[in-house]
Structure 1
Amino acid sequence: MLTDMNKARRHTLLRFNQAIPLLVMAILTGCSSEGEIPTYAVAGSVSLDGQPVSKARLAFMPDRANGNRGPQSFSFAHDGVFAVAEKQGLVEGAYLVDVTVMNAKGVPLGMASLPVSVAPDDSNYLYLELRSDDLQGVPDEEEEAEEDGEG
């Protein structure tokens, strides 16, 4: 014969066992990729005055003025070549790419912004062709500190 205490434990255990399938379904639904915005891989080359750059830092900034509400992403070019993996989150649409060109030692030489577009397919190879005349100066850390009132 079951005591009141044993009945209460059994009832609680039965209710817990009934909740497990609901909990599993909730977790799996939360991990679903439905509703996620698809992202795409991008690769390309960066040249300065027709020659591949030694190094460059690339910042892909969504062009909000042209309706891109996606995330920003970053990459580095070595010997004129760069790649952004699909999982880094470039969505379809317009971007402004801030390219900071560096010498072989990684010292910034200048930067320029270029408009690019990411397509919803595998054709995303970008040719980022810069001219020395297009490069703007890159403020160094000391200048930035002075502007912020720290210098």
Structure 2
Amino acid sequence: MTDLILLTDEELQEMSYDSFNQVDLKALQTMQECEFPRYTVAMAHTIYLWENALYQEASRLCGNYDGGLWKTKNGFWELQSDRIFLMENGWGEIFKLNATEFSIVVNLFILSKLSMMTYESKPAINRRAVFFSDYIKDMMNKNRKILNTGAIYKLID
């Protein structure tokens, strides 16, 4: 697993994330540390849809994924593993990703699907899916020296 450098509160403000986004991010980051996590109904629905798609999408995207423990400490679902995952893009290129990089790809696919599914019908969930997708990309940018961002972008393209 890769230890990511989190975005600071100042960086989040500079990126124009509104206070609702920051509250949702904090709720997701601390969700597994709290006995009774607190978040809005819309955030609870977002988490429910996001988590339910997680395992299926990971299996669909990677043949050598066979389950594992996922945590939310960095602001997205991250697989806790030391394994290497082989992923292929649509042009036949194969990439070796660590668990953090694999998790980023899986999360971005899910959030994209959530955004499309909820575009008109559930604007509160859609807003959160777009925010978390943007947040992950900002987190990737901050950690570009320790992440294989080239492979990640080729896989999600």
Q: Judging by fraction of residues, say which structure has more helix.
A: 2
| TM-score normalised to structure 1 length | 0.26
